Amino acid sequence: MSRRSISDESGRFNMEVEVHDSVLEDAIGRYNAEEVLKCAMIMALSVLAQDGPWPFAALESMSTFMTEMKTCLIQELH
């Protein structure tokens, strides 16, 4: 069993993750696990706060973000 406490810098949320599997224990032990888990929590809370259907709202938001990122990168290359 591995346990990890995570909170955002502005103090809006604090969570504790506990896993009971060797693969998942390795995953939450990685150097960037805290940042990945924070992003996932912020996305989930944002979708819930907007009262949108999960996971459609999150996937649509990610798609929009990725399209905008791609457009920016292409513009920078030209």
The per-residue pLDDT for range 27-71, each reduced to its tens digit, is 999 998 998 898 888 888 877 787 767 777 778 877 887 888 888
Q: What's CA 74's distance to the chain center, in Å?
A: 25
Residue where the block lists tokens 């502005």: 10
pTM of the model: 0.65
DSSP string, the chain: -EEEEEE-TTSS-EEEEEE-SHHHHHHHTSTTHHHHHHHHHHHHHHHHHTTPPTTHHHHHHHHHHHHHHHHHHHHHH-
Pair of tokens at residue 25: 């224990």
64 residue type, one letter: T
